[in-house]
Amino acid sequence: RFTQWVNRIFVLIGSVLVAAMMLVTVREVFVRYVLDDPSRWAMDGSRFALVYVFFLAIAPALESGHHVSVDLFDPLLPRAVRRYQQPAAYLLVLFFAAVLFYYVSAVTLEVFDTGEMTYSVVPVQLKYIYCIGPIGVGEFWLTALVGFIRACQGAPLLARATETPSGA
């Protein structure tokens, strides 16, 4: 329940950021092409927000089943092996998330130590941009852990159990 709650908050924040990026882009198109007065901050703000959107979206994507997956070989596996497929896949995701967390955290800590600034029109300390990385990847790892536990118990994955198939 905790990971579901945090993922909903992440989706909400990410959605607000995407909407803000869209509004800034529409505004920028208007002032650039109609008023011939482009701003300097729009591109930088959108790039910084996109970093947040990515790290806020990876855990909810995993939970909802909208992450990248390969199911090409599923029919080739014997039925007896298929029940171990989901737990094994989640183990791999847990390993990937742990490695990603290590590297993202190392870079983030380095940026906090050095106090580096962005190379952009709008100078911002990188720590304010990079701080979302370990938070998003940590939630990604927790979501994978919940998925692994549910797969080991044979319980349906939460998002897939409640999804309704959409039309083609």
pLDDT digits (tens, 9 = 90+) for 37-51: 888 788 888 888 999
Residue 22: per-residue pLDDT: 92
Give φ, ψ of 125 to 5 degrees: -65, 135
> Does residue 84 sit in helix, strand or coil?
coil
Q: How far apart are CA 97 and CA 67, in angstroms?
A: 13
Q: How far apart are CA 138 and CA 155, in angstroms?
A: 23
Could you tell me if 144 and 94 are in contact, meaning their C-beta atoms sit under 8 angstroms apart?
yes
Band of residue 157 on the pLDDT scale cut at 50, 70, 90: low
Residue 163: per-residue pLDDT: 47
Is the alpha carbon torsion for 119, 125, 129, 132 positive or negative?
A: positive
Give the tokens for residue 36.
């011939």
> Does residue 41 sit in helix, strand or coil?
coil
Residue with tokens 């909802």: 64
**Rg for the chain (alpha carbons), in Å?**
20
Which residue type sits at 89? A
Helices (H), the chain: 2-33, 42-64, 79-82, 85-114, 127-130, 132-153, 158-162
Band of residue 164 on the pLDDT scale cut at 50, 70, 90: very low
pLDDT at 75 over 80: no
Predicted structure pTM score: 0.74
